[in-house]
Structure 1
Amino acid sequence: MKKLLFCLFLATFILPVRANEGMWFLMHIERLNYVDMQKMGLQLTPEEIYSINNHSLKDAIVQFGGGCTAEIISDKGLVLTNHHCGYGNIAELSTEENDYLNNGFWAKNYEEELKPENLSVRFFVRMDDVSKRMLAQVNDSMSEDEREAALNREIAKIQEENNEDGKYTVSVKSFYSGNEFYYFVYEDYNDVRLVGTPPKDIGKFGGDTDNWEWPRHTGDFSLFRVYADQDGNPAEYSEDNVPLNPKYHLPTSIRGFEENDFAMILGYPGRTNRWMPAGGIEQNVEYAYPAWVEASKASMDVMKKYMDEKPQVNLDYASSYAGIANYWKNRQGMIDALKQHKTAKSKRKEEKKFQRWAKKQKTDKYKNVMPVINEYYSKTNKSSEHDNYLMLMLRTRLATLPYRLGKTTEYYIDQNEAKQAEVLPKLEKEINNLYDGLYLPLEKEVLATQLKLYSDKADNIAPKVKAIADENNNSQEAWQTYIDQAVENSIFKSEESFTAFLNNPDMEVLKNDPLYVLSTDLLTRYRAKSDEEKEWEDKYQKAFRLMIQGMRKQNPDEKYYPDANSTLRLTYGKIISLPKDPSNDAKKNYYTTLKGTIAKYQPGDEEFNMPKKLVDLYESRDFGQYADKDGYLPVNFLTDNDITGGNSGSPVLNGKGELIGLAFDGNIEAMAGDVIFDDKLQRTISVDIRYVLFLIDKYAGATHLIDELTLVK
């Protein structure tokens, strides 16, 4: 299943591309998109967007923390991204005494900026097409494993040729499920520090209730800074490091915009599955996603109970909870949208057209593609359900910590004294990381709850889990008792306990530890694959690759863009409304205002509380230079850009390449967007940059940060 998911991530869309649809490679903009973009309002040249030899927009866009996007907005390395993208780092830096997550934080100078433990940004240097070179290494007679091995050998050569003795990170990516290949060169900076963040009541205003909804009223932003050595090169954290002087930073516009104005977004979308066959959609809707939703809710209910009881537990688990909650609502939205749009049915029609085309070809190459794909899904429906229940359980730290530490410890015990001395510091660091912020009562109840759910709902479960469930009638009480006793008798029950074991390690004690046995059972089952499953997966992968290849031949005149896979893309569209909504006070339903934010205010409410100072600023109408020409203070706005997860924090730019907003969400009506694009419903929700600047200036009083920016008035 894991190879299947990987393949689905590397797909593209097969229907005619609409004006606002597509996640485009920057190197293809001039050939595929430039004329359309000019007609819609772009005033830049392709060279000003993407250039290898000269500074361009791409030099200001960074991948943030591996899963979000951010942008450089000053010549001193100031980085703007979403509050929810910085959430984990902000929580990490917070304590009960200095609760930056709930109260906000604003450094007055460089010395006050805070360094999270592990945070980096990645700059995009260049890319190139190596499809011919890569495909020359494979042939149709190869098995999928042989094909993968041959491609990996060539990837290693390409990486070595382009990393300039380790200066750059080089990634070779597959597109169209192995029909094309491109390499990407990046430069990573690891000294990134927190500069400022609004309190959670602003940065996460609306909470889970408003997540994926419109109208929105959140100040979802945070500020960081990239540091480098004295020569501007990447360097590990040091007090001697200085703010980076970037190749390019975005100018920031406070002029505002109107409906139908041009808008483009550059960022790192995580994944779309727009080649996904009908069988895959049906599998997700009926088996995989319902399991994910149910297991997510089970974890959330337990976590919330303990987080509400203790402020420090709330800080330690805030990021984990937010991540689970986000996908919980996303997956339910996907189920509803895919059913409502009858997406599988429309895909079936396209697949039948393809099958008729395949039968008319002189070659039999594509004739059996769809039957193989359809049979594969029918054979893997129940296993996809199982895998989703198990994946959510493996998000519980207590389910994986014993296995991770145990395997490293087995290696440690087997080494001679000199090698043990070499390995020990790494092992101690891993111990510290895994136990940091772990709250055992929460972990025990979440794991017991997930084991009960997994045993109840999944087929062909892990053998040790099945044996325990059968012996104890699979009741919640029995699972809780089992986990309580297992923890009490385990060397993994605390950092102190495991460290004591490490001082006098015993292989038999380790291998018979009840938590290690359970954790190993879960991870072994997660990775298990029968010979029959491997055979069908190989057949599927080849058929899926041929399906994409054949459908592109079937429609040779279409413009194609690759599916998202965390590589830099550009999407373009317009500022555009949804139908009028009485819950939005704005004159047109493409923006929201501070007035509407105040209307949602519920004092003391976890999701809709608001700092008094923000209320006071509204009542005094102290909006400064950030008010719209019509007098209101804008908060959020809509465009019809094509984005997905990973685009969080992406800059929204006008036709001149000036920053007008910060993308943070999509609308729930278009939740099917990762599989099929709906040009009528698809919307990107963004924070208006004027609201961001208002909060920095008027709310936080951090005028020194405003002074850093290149403001366009």
Structure 2
Amino acid sequence: MKRNIIIAGFFLSSIFPLAQQYGGMWIPTEVNEKEMKELGMKISAKDIWDTTKPSIKDAVVQFNGGCTAEIISPKGLLLTNHHCGYGQIQKHSSVKNDYLADGFWAKNNGEELPNAGVTVDFIADIKDVTPQILGNTKNLEAKQAEDVIKNNIETVTKSFKIEPYQKVVIKPMYYGNKYYAYIIDTYKDVRLVGAPPSSIGKFGSDTDNWVFPRHTGDFSLFRIYADKNNKPAEYSKDNVPYRPKHFLPVSIKDKKEGDFTFVFGFPGRTTEYLPSIAVEKIMNETDPAMIDVRDVALKTLDEKMRTDQATKIKYASKYASVANYWKKWIGEVEGLKKSNAVGKKQKYEQALIAKNPAIKTTIDEFNRLYTAQAPYALSRAYYTEVVRNAEALTLANNYYNFINAVESGRMDAKTLESFKNRMNSFYKDYDGELDAKVTAKVLALYANRVPAQYLPAGFEKFKDVNQNLKTVEEWSKNSVITGRGSLNGATAYSDLNKVFADQKALVQNLKKDPLMQLFTSMREAYMKNTDPKYNEYQSQIDALQKKYMAQQMETDRDRKFFPDANSTLRVTYGKVAGSNPKDALYYGYQTHLSGVMEKYIPGDYEFDVPQKLIDLYNKKDYGIYKNSTGDVPVNFTATNHTTGGNSGSPALDANGNLIGLNFDRQWEGTMSDINYDPKFSRNIMVDTKYILFIIDKFANAKWLIDEMKVVK
């Protein structure tokens, strides 16, 4: 495979003096309009958010509770990522119609596919309700204040007069120093319209995840339907395409380095205001611990996946899931070190103390609490990752909950059926023999890395990997948990119903199972020796963080603060830019279809390319979607401050036109969740030229293009 590193002769430092200093995920009612204008925005804050007339916010939705999506036509056509719509594409797929492999394109509204349970949420309004939530909590102890706040939230929520299709959600900001109410309109009839094959929508898959240069057409199309009055309604064949207050014009103008761009969406979680000691612990202790465990698990899985095609297919999704945050944490650690995050935090703390000496007491207390919590935090990191990555222990954890439910009388027929379905799904892609090797190795890591006082008595016997391999394999091949041992003449693989036919017998079998006993001893030791102390310190840290946040905002009057991401609607902004992540290594800001062909490996599950796309490339049949280089742009990067949840977010230009679809970040800048740095932080977007090229030229779905307002 050719890895195409685009060398660009740009001078990065010429861009960054104008770039945002702190990044930012701004509440749309409180955007940093001054800095956005300085960076090149031509529209106003009112064009982004206005409840008195249509604005861009009316075209941006939360998709199915996690991702973001945007409306791109007057008929409710919705654009989001392929990976956001993946579950729906998968559910509609079959051996006969494999939409994951072949793609899906409705030829008209009648062919669009309904998706039970999928919702989109519009934010109708945002209200600052801080006085109502915190007004009567002054001078109260933390626990008392917590109870009063909880009651206030309930009271204020009920005070809003809303429509049947609306809900009110009140969210804390700035670590509980402010509160905002979100009035949400929920639409429940969302239909699949189009999706490219995975060889386009997931091109590069695990290898290219978190990386640039990237060449992924990560998009899919849905449509919102409403009743005849344009109101939310349950699915009905009588529903009609939703008529939005606003939809985004789609620009296919060329981009250039330094162009202003902003991203509008629902980022998940960031922690930008932590003290330096917290960042130091993440960078040097907890992230490396989690990387440690996943490193062992991934290497063990990879050994078999490389030599056995059946295992490669069975574990592809699991491997990708484990590798996802493993790669992210590696990039986060490297980015924190390269950006001197701890040093910058320490310098900032000293500047704050110089203005407000009382902050020294806060920082000293942070240092004490994080230092005291550190061994428990490390134990917690190893425990959670070991249980997560040793599938035998994950299974044992599930069966542990099953035993408790049976013995407490909570295992009714519906709960049992749900549990069996979950187990069936797990066993479908499970290899007990391979898992025994992973389990043996991560147990050795756990025994060697975590001090004895946090482990079960006698756990030192698991320090030897070779002995573990013999022991765990013996346990695994005779265990009902792993599906390799039998009960009532059946295994979990052959007949799960027989295994569960006699719940009492199953419980007795499980209690005697060595793997179950191992997990139970680990869990009990963790709950006794780690969990209480970790949580005790965390409660104190959380209370102190609220105080520290207030101190920062009161002391640093020159800084415009934004609240950390918490899955609420936010605006972030920056400039189109390449990057210089390492000495003498430069990535251009734009990749092209020619780069897809350079990576092409026939038949490969990550880098295969559909024949039709090859034909379009060979003929150079690009229509209006090529740029000034004569090639079709695929992905591009900018300095927008994004995180998980921003998947599917619209990337807009200075005039509010759609220019790209956010789907990832460069791993060298994933530390932006903790420490945004414009030198390293890059979000990755699918270029609208590529999206329209695939819809028009590849899918022959020009009827969808005709719906849009295309800005040429």
SS of 2:79 mapped into structure 1: strand
Counterpart in the other structure of 1:591: 590
- For residues 272 and 119 of structure 1, the distance between their equivalents in structure 2, rounded to whole angstroms, comes to 26
Counterpart-to-counterpart distance in 2, 1:187 and 1:435: 36
Q: CA deviation at 1:241?
A: 4.7
1:125/1:283 CA distance change after superposition, 3 Å? same
Report the counterpart of residue 379 of structure 2 in structure 1.
386
Equivalent residue, structure 2, for 1:567: 568
User: In the aligned structure 2, how far is the partner of 1:591 from the partner of 1:278?
Assistant: 35
Equivalent residue for 1:26?
Answer: 28
Q: Which residue of 2 aligns with 1:377?
A: 370
- Give yes or no for contact 1:281–1:344 (8 Å, CA) kept in 2: yes
In 2, distance between residues paired with 1:655 and 1:430? 51
Give the aligned CA root-mean-square deviation in angstroms: 3.7
For residues 52 and 632 of structure 2, the distance between their equivalents in structure 1, rounded to whole angstroms, comes to 40
CA displacement at 1:78 relative to structure 2: 2.3
Structure 1 stretch displaced more, 148-157 or 445-454: 445-454
- Other structure's SS at 1:218 match: coil
CA contact (8 A) 2:22 2:676 kept: no
Cα distance between partner residues in 1 of 2:318 and 2:224: 25
Alignment of 1:95-134 (within 5 A): 95=94, 98-115=97-114, 119-134=118-133
Provide closer, same or farther for how the CA distance between residues 580 and 451 of structure 1 changes in structure 2, counting only shifts above 3 A: closer
What TM-score results when the alignment is normalised by the length of structure 2? Answer: 0.85
Is the 2:225–2:241 contact (alpha carbons within 8 Å) kept by the matching residues of 1?
Answer: yes
1:603-661 deviation line (CA, Å, top 9, x unaligned): 34443332222122112110012122453221122222222222121111112211111
Q: Percent identity, aligned pairs only?
A: 35
1:264 and 2:262 equivalent? yes
Classify the secondary structure of the residue corresponding to 2:182.
strand
Establish whether residue 75 from structure 1 lines up as the match of residue 74 from structure 2. yes
Report Cα offsets for 1:56-83 as digits up to 9, x if no partner.
2112112223332221222333221222
Cα deviation digits, residues 662-696 of structure 1 (max 9, x gap): 11222233233222222233322211101111011
Partner of 1:8 in structure 2? none
C-alpha deviation, 1:553, in angstroms: 1.9
Q: Tell me the equivalent position of 1:7.
A: none
Amino acid at match of 2:388: R
Give the unaligned 5+ runs of structure 2.
Answer: 1-17
- Which residue identity lines up with residue 76 of structure 1 in the other structure? K
Matches within 5 A, 1:177-188: 177-188=175-186
Alignment of 1:191-270 (within 5 A): 191-229=189-227, 231-237=229-235, 239=237, 241-270=239-268
Sort the Cα spacing of 1:667 and 1:166 in 2 relative to 1 into closer, same or farther, 3 A: same
Tell me the alpha carbon deviations over residues 386-433 of structure 1, each in whole angstroms, 9 at most, x when there is no partner: 222333344356544554566467546655xxx98xx42344234324
Q: Which moved more, 1:477-486 or 1:464-473?
A: 464-473
CA pair 400-601 structure 1, distance change in 2 beyond 3 A: closer
Q: Which residue of 2 aligns with 1:6?
A: none
Note if contact 2:440-2:468 (Cα within 8 Å) is conserved in structure 1: no
Deviations 1:10-38 (A, max 9, x none): xxxxxx99368211111113xxx334434
**TM-aligned CA distance change 1:104 to 1:165, over 3 Å:** closer
Q: 1:577 to 1:400 in 2, by over 3 A?
A: closer
Please list the CA deviations of residues 552-587 of structure 1 after superposition, one character each: whole Å capped at 9, or x if unmatched. 2221232111111211111122223436999999xx
- Alignment correspondent of 1:458: 450
Instruction: Give, in whole Å, the separation in 1 of the partners of 2:458 and 2:104.
Output: 45
Q: Report how far residue 293 of structure 1 moved.
A: 1.6
| Shift in Å, 1:434 | 4.3
Following the alignment from structure 2 to structure 1, what is the Cα–Cα distance between the partners of residues 217 and 539?
47
> Does residue 549 of the first structure (1) align with residue 550 of the second (2)?
yes
Alpha carbons 2:132, 2:156 under 8 Å: kept: no
Is 1:623–2:622 an aligned residue pair? Answer: yes
For 1:582 and 1:670, locate their aligned partners in 2 and report how far apart those are by CA, in whole Å.
15
Q: Specify the SS of the correspondent of 2:388.
A: coil
Residues in 1 aligned to 2:232 and 2:107: alpha-carbon distance in whole angstroms: 24
Q: 1:458 to 1:581 in 2, by over 3 A?
A: closer
How far apart are the structure 2 equivalents of 1:575 and 1:20? Answer: 17
Amino acid at match of 1:436: S
Kindly state the Cα deviation for residue 539 of structure 1 after the two structures are TM-superposed: 2.9
Deviation at 1:499, TM superposition (A): 3.8
Following superposition, the deviation at residue 456 of structure 1 comes to 3.5
Does the 8 Å CA contact 2:276/2:342 hold for their aligned counterparts?
yes
Q: Say if 1:299 and 1:450, in contact at 8 Å, map to a contact too.
A: yes
Alignment match of 2:471 (pick from 472, 478, 487): 478
Give, as a single letter, the amino acid of the residue that structure 2 aligns with 1:441: D
Whether contact under 8 Å (2:380, 2:531) holds in the other structure is no
1:264 aligned counterpart, secondary structure: strand
**Do 1:594 and 1:633's aligned partners in 2 also have CA atoms closer than 8 Å?**
yes
CA deviations over 1:513-561 (Å, ceiling 9, x no partner): 6366555555666665566545433332222222222222221232111
Asked if the contact 1:91/1:316 (under 8 Å) is kept, the reply is no
Q: Does structure 2 conserve the Cα–Cα contact (< 8 Å) formed by 1:355 and 1:370?
A: no
Q: Once structures 1 and 2 are overlaid, which stretch shifts more, 389-398 or 526-535?
A: 526-535
Separation (CA, whole Å) in 2 of partners of 1:93 and 1:102: 12
AA partner of residue 373 (structure 2)? T
CA contact (8 A) 2:72 2:79 kept: yes
CA gap 1:496/1:109 in 2 versus in 1, 3 angstroms: farther
1:441 equivalent in structure 2: 431
Separation of aligned partners in 1, 2:413 and 2:206: 42
The structure-2 alpha-carbon separation of the partners of 1:128 and 1:307, relative to structure 1 and needing over 3 Å to count, comes to farther
**8 Å contact kept, 1:190–1:234:** yes
Note if contact 1:196-1:223 (Cα within 8 Å) is conserved in structure 2: yes
User: Can you list the C-alpha shifts for 1:161-199, whole angstroms capped at 9, x where unaligned?
Assistant: 337376333322222222112122223334434332222
Deviations 1:304-353 (CA, angstroms, capped at 9, x unpaired): 56767888876775544333222111110111121222221221222233
Q: Is the 8 A contact 2:275 2:345 kept in 1?
A: yes
Letter in 1 for 2:591: T
Query: 2:173 corresponds to which residue?
Result: 175
The alignment status of 1:432 with 2:421, answered yes or no, reads yes
CA contact (8 A) 1:264 1:572 kept: yes
Alignment CA distance shift 1:157-1:212 (3 Å): same
Alpha carbons 1:580, 1:589 under 8 Å: kept:
no
Deviation at 1:158, TM superposition (A): 2.7
For the residues of structure 2 that align with 1:177 and 1:140, how far apart are their CA atoms? 18
User: Which of 368, 375, 385 matches 2:361?
Assistant: 368
Paired residue secondary structure (2:175): coil
Aligned runs of 1:13-162 on 2, under 5 Å? 18=20, 21-29=23-31, 33-95=32-94, 98-115=97-114, 119-143=118-142, 145-162=143-160
How many angstroms does 1:477 deviate by? 3.0
Distance in 2 separating the partners of 1:581 and 1:623? 34
Report deviation, 1:53.
3.5
Label 1:434 to 1:65 Cα distance change in 2 as closer, same or farther (>3 A).
Answer: farther
| Structure 1 stretches lacking a partner, 5+ long | 1-15
Secondary structure of the corresponding residue to residue 265 of structure 1:
strand
TM-score by length of 1: 0.85
Letter paired with 2:68: T
Deviation at 1:243, TM superposition (A): 3.8
